[in-house]
Structures are given as C-alpha cells and as structure tokens.
Amino acid sequence: MNSPIRKVVVTQKFFDEEAIALLESKGCEVDIATLPEGKGEADLDVDDICQLLAGAGGWIVGHARVTREVLEALPDLAIISRRGVGYEKVDTVAAEALGKVVTIAAGGNNDSVADQVIGMMISLGRRYREAQIAMNAGKWNILVGTELFRKTVGIIGFGRIGRSLAQRLQGFDAEILVCTPRLASADIDSFGLKQVDFETLLERSDYISVHAPLTPETRHMIDADALARMKPSAAIINTARGGLVDDRALLAALQAGRILGAGLDVFESEADPTMMPVTEALIDLPNVIAAPHSGASTHEALQRTNMIAAQCVVDVLDGKVPSMGQCVADGRK
C-alpha cells in the first residue's frame, strides 16, 4: 500500500503559523488555498474544490460541503479534518465507503461558545442593545433589566459546550435544568444538576440555551408550540445550529412580545438562502442579540482548533488513530 500523500490544503481562514509549523515539522507540504474571487468556503462547488485540492492527501476544512461527488473526484485525499465540531456537511457514509477518514476538532471551542452564551444572556437581561439604540436616538432614559444571578437556566443537550456553560453558570448561583436524551441521569447528577423533561425545561427556565446536534429528529425542536410554553420573561439562545429553532416561529413570538428576547449565532438562512428575509427581520429587532456564526471565533479557540485539526491530519497520514479531536468516520481497511 502506498504511503498517503503529505500535501495538505487548508481552505479555512485564520489558520495560524503554529499549526502550519506543526504540519511542516511532520513532513507535510501546506497549501493555504486562495479561494475563487467572490466566494467564501461555503460557496465552493465541486469544480472549485477539485481544483484547489488536486493532489492533496489532507484537507483542513470548515464550511464547504463535502459530498460523495467531491470525495470520488479526489482519490488521493486520505483525511478530511474539520476545524469545527459539526460534521453534517460531510457525507461520512461516502467517506467510509471510499476509505477516507473524517475528523472534527472536538474540544477546541467549548470555552469560546460558552462565553458567548453567557454574554448573550447578560446582554438580553440587561437590555443592552435596546438601551444603545435608544441612546443613539438621543433618548437616555434608563431601561430596567433583569439579572442572571440566581435565575433558572435550561440547557438542551449536555455535551462539551453544555458542560462548559454549566460550569460558568454555577458562578451565578443559577438553578440549572438539563434536558438531553444522550446521557443517563447519573451523569448529570454528578454535576449537581437536575435532569428534567423537555416540557418542564421550557416552562420553568428564565433562559434556555440550545446545544443539540441538528438531526431530522431535532430540527425545529424549538417551534411555535415550544415558544408558547416559555415564560413571557424568558429568552432563548441558539449558538448550535440553524434549524434547531424554527426562525419563522421565533420571529412571530418576538414580534408579538410573547418572550423576552433571543440570542442567535446561527440561522436557518445559512443552509436555506430563501430564509434570509426572516434572518434580516430577526436581527433588526431591538431584543435580539445576533452574531454571524462566530461563537468559536476567538484567537484562543482558533489556535486550539487549528492545532487539533493539524494533529488529526498528521496522525492519519502517519497511519495512526487521531490522538486529538474526534474521528467520526474511518474508512481505512
């Protein structure tokens, strides 16, 4: 069996010198791709990708769609290393069938996303965006807000980010409710938290933060009915994936004043451009704190995920099991 080709193409922005140095120290040729003019990584089509990755054995990728067609057209490609924690944009079944490895940079962005959630909660409760809009209009009247201290916070999903968030919330003396199908009650009890059903979490929480993967089962888990069960004084935070929240239903609830507000780092329009008018209407609301899917984009988190992605590439090209991150598909025989 021939040794894997050690050319590594990086199509993500902000890939730092330390990660490049790691790859080069292990005999890899690193190509920081120049994307076609006017295109971001998510806009790359099959032809674009094939031109950029010609002769590559490793690919460090973020938002591009890695389809079976792409994988079949790149026979030299041994590893697709996502600098992120989701893998729904990668056809992992095709990767397995075609003998390729897919990894994610699990553990690299927990802290940055958890920090973002805390910031959104405080900003919504204290009405910072509303106050600044009013001040810009010359109205300096005080808007009375609410504290995060000793509030009830519901966490949907209790993976790495959910746990990092729970650790931070304990500093606010918050009551933390957890709803997750993936962990036994004992796992959550060991954190000193309460596991509840979905309906209880919706009805009791002052803040709800969604940290579930996007699957057919979780799509629109926060729909019009779920929003109607929330307290009028409660806020919803989604930093996980667009599609977990029904954005149309959320917009209607916010416009009607049925909930306090929303913190959104992800939107349905990311995968469905026809939803952009809904996104634009959401981010225009004074009680919405919005970001452009940037929860993992701190200097520190990018350095961590770059190194994890790079180490995964090195390990696979060396014929090893990845020592960092998480391997989500391994088609090697």
Residues annotated as part of the active site: 241, 270, 293
Spatial CA neighbour of 21 closest among 3, 4, 36, 8: 8
Contact 5, 56 (CB under 8 A): yes
Amino acid, single-letter form, for residue 184: A
What six digits make up the tokens of 119?
């910031």
DSSP H helices, the chain, are 17-25, 46-52, 68-72, 92-97, 110-126, 128-136, 160-169, 185-189, 198-204, 224-229, 247-255, 276-283, 299-317
Spatial CA neighbour of 294 closest among 39, 9, 13, 102: 13
Q: Provide CB contacts within 8 A for 13, sequence distance 6+.
A: 41
Radius of gyration of the chain (CA): 21
Please state, in angstroms and rounded to a whole number, the distance separating the CA atoms of residues 99 and 43.
Answer: 26
Longest dimension (CA), the chain: 73
The count of other CB atoms within 10 Å of the CB of residue 51 is: 11
Spatial CA neighbour of 19 closest among 309, 289, 325, 245: 309
Strands across the sheet with 194-195, in order?
Answer: 194-195, 175-179, 152-156, 207-210, 235-238, 261-264, 288-290
The count of other CB atoms within 10 Å of the CB of residue 132 is: 11
Cα dihedral sign, 243-145-151-233: negative
